[in-house]
Structure formats: C-alpha cells, structure tokens
Amino acid sequence: MHELSLALEVLGLVTSEAAKNRVKVIHEIQIEIGKISGVESDVFQAALEISARNSILDNARIIIINSPGKGRCMSCSEEFDMEDLLALCPNCQHQPSEITGGRELKVLSMMAE
C-alpha cells in the first residue's frame, strides 16, 4: 500500500511548510490526484486522515480533487481523456505517444491560521 507512504510524505511536506510560516493549525487542505497516477484516492485519503492524527492536520478538512487522465495520440495527434494507461485514441484506436495529464499528486492549497 504505497498510499500510506505518499500520505506520510504529504504530511511531512505540510508540516515543514507550516513550520516555516509559523502556522499553528491547518483547517483545510486540497490535494489533486490524477486518474492515472496509480494512487487510489479513497485509500490515500484514509491513510492521510489516520497519519494526520495528533498533527497539525488533525481535524483538517481534506479535499481530494481527481483530475482526468489525458493523452495525445501518436498517429493522429488527437487529445483525449484516458481512463487508464492502456487507453486507445477514440479517433483512430492507437495508444497515445504522450501522456499529458492525470499522473499528478500535488498539494494545491491549505487554509491555516
């Protein structure tokens, strides 16, 4: 379950940034997770909630924003949404030559005091 190690990394990042900015409490955090990142959003959120106990994120509202997978076809240059890494171009049925979105896992924002 790599979601736990990713949750711990996010907790470490948030804790470090909070310390730099003298933040005492974080009320809300928004995290973007790409559809084809290999991260299960529900499992990640649960891991982060458990990891956040007794930390600066304890009781924070955790908002997960799932972004779609995006690809560009190597044959016809069509850009399209991808449900998984093996998605085919809806126009010509080839695989994309470039994955242009959906692999991210990033902290978008935090509301704190």
Cα-flanking dihedrals φ and ψ of residue 8, to 5°?
Answer: -65, -35
pLDDT value of residue 1: 58
Q: How many Å apart are CA 69 and CA 16, to the nearest integer?
A: 30
Q: How many Å apart are CA 107 and CA 78, to the nearest integer?
A: 29
- Indicate the pTM of the whole model: 0.86
Structurally, at CATH architecture level, domain 2-69+101-112 sits in 2-Layer Sandwich (3.30)
pLDDT per residue rounded down to tens, the chain (113 residues): 589 999 999 999 999 999 999 998 999 999 999 999 999 999 999 999 999 999 999 999 999 999 999 999 989 999 999 988 889 999 999 987 789 999 999 999 999 98
Pick from 61, 52, 43, 45: which is nearest to 15 by CA?
Answer: 52
Q: How many Å apart are CA 34 and CA 53, to the nearest integer?
A: 25
User: In the block, which residue shows the tokens 């850009």?
Assistant: 79
pLDDT value of residue 113: 85
